[in-house]
Amino acid sequence: MSLRTPAGARVMRPGAGLSSRRRANRTKSFNFEGCGALQIRPFLPGRVRNGNRRVSEQRRGAFKEIYLRSAGAVAYVAVQKQNGDDAIGTAFHIGDGVFLTARHVVDDVAIQEIATTKSAHLETEAGGRTMRPRLLPLLDGPHFAASDLDVAVFKVDLAGAALPAITLSQHTDYNLGENDMVLSDILIVGYPPVPFTTEPIQIAAEGQVNAVVRLRHSPVLHFVASATARGGFSGGPVLDIEGRAIGIVTEALSKDGAPVELGFLSLLSIEPGFDLAAKIYGLSLSGAYPGRYSDTLLAVRFANTSARSLNSLIYDAGVYVYDDDRDVFVEIDCADPVVTADAVKAMNTVTEMTRVDVSDGPDLYMPVHNPSAALLLEAGQSAVAVFVAAGYRIMASEQSEWQLAVHDPADG
């Protein structure tokens, strides 16, 4: 039985021993007294060019290795539209026969065939053997998220055979800063139709993330990438230098019916894909509970709609509820004392909170009693409701539910 922090006990804040991202960036002062004169080496263009060449070669080698490991996990999805036209898209395996793709690839169409075309190099599965490409019979799905999310999951019959799986990044919209991912190198894998070829061809393309953006027709973050947008890439994985899927290829951003290739390539951040797979098929990062395994019970960032925002990734307020099944606390980050007071009052109607004096950062509150995770979550949600009622818009959120599944002393 896990013991949660009793009333009056010391609460550790993020950055002081608890695993959290909230204090990741701190300003440090350095004293250079007595260090002697700083020596500045002359600028040598040749040295820079040679260094850049070595970095480029290392990056290319890393992506080649990632591609060899991942290619066998990426499949084409051949479909027939309602008007009888044939089309093709991409999906990728994330484990146990479960595939992620873009919703528009498999929605309102007849799925004709799902298959891989590359040899699967199995490092640990099946004793390190190499598996030939194969057809993958559809077993279940597809299943969709909300209508404004271009993501889908389905399951195939692996017939007991191993298939490589692509690891999903654990980032969320909540923890992405305005410059995170920008200029990150990426590898995109998919099946855009290649003229005059006799079979679906898997294409791998390197690129960079150029921007993190919000789209008018989607509630989640997207990445704009430097790679050329092409039909057939849709549903394909976007891999980082560690081989993790950070996104899904979804669309080309263009106007007035311009060709796909002239639009910006848009990549859906992987978060809604992970959440959908967890909901439908129990995908887990911990191996014990479906979904994300995080000490963040609830976290929400807001924008103040009464003020003009020049950057939607810079937030005006936030509510953060921490619960690692031992230490629990709530942070409220808001410059408006009236809204903050109302949020605290709302939390107190659910479970009594006391403020903890801190020297810097957001206001910190600790439960007086020993609330269950469910009660603590309700308190956090009541605070969020106060911000929404005050005219704040929810811009990003994160929630972990494993705490609700753990037997809590307060639950009896």
- CA 26 centroid distance within chain: 24
Predicted confidence (pLDDT) per residue in 300-345, tens digit: 999 998 877 888 888 999 999 999 888 899 999 999 999 999 999 9
Predicted confidence (pLDDT) per residue in 45-78, tens digit: 555 455 555 556 666 678 888 999 999 999 999 9
Higher pLDDT, 271 or 230: 271
Alpha-helix residue ranges (DSSP H) falling in 10-44 = none
Higher pLDDT, 281 or 258: 281
Q: Stretch 385-410: mean pLDDT, rounded?
A: 81
Predicted confidence (pLDDT) per residue in 210-267, tens digit: 888 888 777 888 888 887 777 788 999 999 999 999 999 987 665 566 555 556 788 9
Phi, psi (degrees; rounded to nearest 5) at 97: 80, 5
Instruction: Find the distance separating the first CA and the last CA of the chain, reported in whole Å.
Output: 11
3 state DSSP class of 395: strand
Residue 20 has pLDDT above 80, yes or no: no
CB atoms within 10 A of CB 406: 15
Number of residues that this document lists for the chain: 412
Q: What residues contact residue 84 under an 8 Å CB cut-off, 6+ apart?
A: none
Give the separation between CA 114 and CA 404, rounded to whole angstroms.
37
pLDDT value at residue 62: 82
> What share of residues in the chain are helix, strand, coil (percent, to 5)?
20, 30, 45
Q: Tell me the β-bridge partners of 121.
A: 130
Pairing relationship of beta strands 237-239 and 185-190 according to DSSP bridges: antiparallel
Q: Which CATH class is domain 59-291?
A: mainly beta
The topology under which CATH files domain 294-411 is Gyrase A; domain 2 (3.30.1360)
Residue intervals in the chain for CATH 2.40.10.120: 59-291
Q: Would you call the peptide bond into 367 cis, given omega within 30 degrees of 0 as the criterion?
A: no
- Tell me the pLDDT band of 150, cut-offs 50, 70 and 90: very high
pLDDT value at residue 87: 93
